[in-house]
């Protein structure tokens, strides 16, 4: 096995992102490996991966010990797992409708709208230090957000970089939010470009709470967004937040996906999903699950006794509920339910204290505005940062 294949899990590349189906993952990993193998980033990833491998090895020992304790022991815990499965299944709600709205390649789409000559070209918003987002032409080469620009350029030599214009993006996001409020005044914003909408009351009020009505409401929202901004949005429609979010990616760009509120259809749909599709499962969790022989939601269910043996009760419940297609169907009932508010940006390494202070000031302003809008208060402020050597620290 080649060196880059052995170490491909070190790289922040996943083919699960919309527009990246069919990308040659092995080739992308080869390019990333060649570009980073002597860098501080690579050294930091090696250190981090070593820690993850130690954790996986420890988990594997726990699993072996668990299953070595005899059939009566295993039977007792299997009954406990089955009871937990039934308990979570009892929390399934099919009477609500959520729509997840996601602006297609938002930053790139704004720049292409304003510079139509870029439409057929591979475009990335950002620079040689970092890609913030890329259009679908560029994604076919493996270029994606949170990728260093110099690597993106190696993957796609014809890539065109466009600078960031956050004030413009925030203005357009405000226009979109004004539309979303008409359908759910309490919608949950997830950055500038996506949102969760609980639309059951809207559907009921309009007499549209049926299969066609739910889909028509999503089409109406997307149509209004395009008429106002000349930008496309995609949507997922499901009976809970998670299903709606997963569905959003399926027919991107400028499309929508509807998963009917039917238990059998939901379970069949979620079974085939890669674990990385589950909101809350990132690169590290995916790596651990894969090493334990789990890559799909169906395998979470079939191997749930193994997960029960090594994960905390909260993590186990999360994995199990996700694999059953069960998730939240309500907005947080109180401000206290939301544990944190955060804002983050990736930018080039700098020792310029004035620039760092300016960025911190902007972050504070954004967080303060959101706190004010929610009528919330805070008791702790934490700054997370990553050094030029890719070491993560907090204060």
Using alpha carbons, select from 208, 262, 216, 237 the residue that is nearest to residue 98.
Answer: 237
**pLDDT of 232:** 98
**Separation of alpha carbons 108 and 143, rounded Å:** 13
**pLDDT of 391:** 59
With a cut of 90, say whether residue 337 has pLDDT above it.
no
With a cut of 50, say whether residue 1 has pLDDT above it.
no
Neighbours of 132 (CB within 10 A): 22
Cis peptide before 253 (omega within 30 of 0): yes
Q: For residue 136, what pLDDT band results from cuts at 50, 70 and 90? A: very high
Mean pLDDT of the chain: 88
Q: Give the number of residues written for the chain.
A: 395
Going 222 to 145 to 53 to 389, the CA torsion angle's sign is negative
| Cβ atoms of residues 294 and 323 within 8 Å | no
With a cut of 50, say whether residue 101 has pLDDT above it.
yes
Using alpha carbons, select from 187, 186, 178 the residue that is nearest to residue 225.
Answer: 178
Beta-bridge partners for 101: 195, 235
**pLDDT of 9:** 46
With a cut of 90, say whether residue 267 has pLDDT above it.
yes
CA distance to 55, 165, 261, per residue, from 289 (Å): 12, 38, 28
Range picked from 127-131, 152-156, 211-215 for highest mean pLDDT: 211-215
Residue whose entry in the numeric block shows the structure tokens 């954004």: 366
**pLDDT of 367:** 74
Mean pLDDT of 153-176: 95
| Cβ atoms of residues 174 and 157 within 8 Å | no
**Separation of alpha carbons 182 and 179, rounded Å:** 6
Q: For residue 357, what pLDDT band results from cuts at 50, 70 and 90? A: confident
**pLDDT of 229:** 98
**pLDDT of 186:** 94
From the number of C-beta atoms within 10 Å of its C-beta (0-12, 13-18, 19+), residue 314 rates as exposed
101: its two tokens: 């709205």
**Phi, psi (degrees; rounded to nearest 5) at 3:** -60, -40
pLDDT digits (tens, 9 = 90+) for 5-62: 444 444 445 556 777 777 888 888 788 778 777 777 677 778 888 899 999 999 999 9
Residue whose entry in the numeric block shows the structure tokens 């009921």: 204
List of residues 6+ apart from 377 with CB closer than 8 A: 371
In the set 194, 286, 303, 370, the catalytic residue is 194
Domains of the chain listed by start with CATH number: 98-106+167-261 (3.30.70.270), 344-394 (no CATH)
Q: Greatest CA span in the chain, whole angstroms?
A: 69
Is residue 194 annotated as part of the catalytic site, yes or no?
yes
Eight-state DSSP code of residue 335: G
**pLDDT of 6:** 46
pLDDT digits (tens, 9 = 90+) for 282-318: 989 999 999 999 999 999 999 999 999 999 999 999 9
Q: Three-state SS for 91?
A: coil
Beta-bridge partners for 197: 99
pTM of the model: 0.84
**Separation of alpha carbons 110 and 172, rounded Å:** 9
Mean pLDDT of 153-175: 95
Q: How far is CA 259 from the centre of its chain?
A: 19
With a cut of 80, say whether residue 95 has pLDDT above it.
yes
Using alpha carbons, select from 249, 115, 228, 252 the residue that is nearest to residue 173.
Answer: 228
**pLDDT of 58:** 95
Q: Three-state SS for 277?
A: helix
């Amino acid at each position: 096995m080649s060196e880059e294949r052995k170490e491909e899990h070190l790289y922040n590349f996943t083919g699960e992102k919309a527009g990246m189906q069919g990308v040659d993952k092995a080739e992308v990993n080869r390019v990333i490996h060649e570009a980073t193998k002597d860098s501080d980033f690579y050294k930091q990833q090696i250190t981090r991966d070593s820690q993850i491998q130690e954790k996986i090895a420890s988990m594997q020992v726990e699993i072996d010990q668990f299953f070595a304790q005899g059939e009566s022991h295993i039977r007792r815990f299997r009954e406990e797992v089955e009871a937990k499965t039934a308990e979570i299944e009892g929390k399934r709600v099919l009477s609500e409708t959520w729509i997840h709205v996601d602006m297609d390649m938002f930053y790139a789409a704004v720049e292409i709208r304003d510079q139509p000559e870029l439409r057929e070209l591979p475009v990335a918003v950002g620079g040689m230090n970092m890609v913030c987002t890329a259009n679908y032409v560029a994604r076919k080469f493996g270029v994606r957000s949170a990728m260093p620009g110099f690597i993106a350029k190696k993957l796609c030599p014809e890539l065109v970089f466009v600078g960031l214009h956050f004030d413009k993006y925030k203005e357009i996001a405000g226009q979109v939010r004004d539309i979303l409020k008409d359908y759910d005044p309490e919608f949950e914003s997830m950055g500038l470009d996506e949102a969760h909408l609980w639309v059951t009351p809207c559907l009921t009020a309009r007499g549209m709470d049926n299969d066609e009505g739910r889909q028509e409401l999503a089409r109406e929202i997307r149509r209004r967004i395009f008429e106002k901004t000349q930008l496309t949005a995609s949507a997922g429609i499901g009976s809970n937040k998670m299903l709606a979010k997963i569905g959003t990616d399926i027919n991107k760009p400028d499309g929508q996906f509807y998963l009917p509120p039917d238990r059998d259809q939901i379970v069949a749909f979620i079974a085939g999903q890669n674990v990385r599709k589950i909101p809350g499962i990132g690169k590290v969790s995916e790596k651990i699950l894969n090493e334990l022989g789990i890559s799909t939601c169906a395998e979470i269910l079939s191997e749930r006794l193994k997960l029960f043996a090594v994960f905390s009760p909260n993590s186990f419940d999360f994995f199990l509920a996700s694999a059953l297609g069960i998730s939240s169907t309500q907005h947080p009932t109180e401000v206290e339910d939301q544990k944190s508010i955060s804002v983050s940006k990736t930018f080039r390494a700098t020792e310029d204290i004035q620039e760092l202070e300016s960025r911190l000031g902007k972050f504070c302003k954004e967080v303060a505005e959101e706190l004010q809008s929610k009528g919330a208060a805070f008791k702790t402020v934490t700054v997370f940062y990553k050094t030029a050597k890719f070491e993560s620290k907090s204060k």
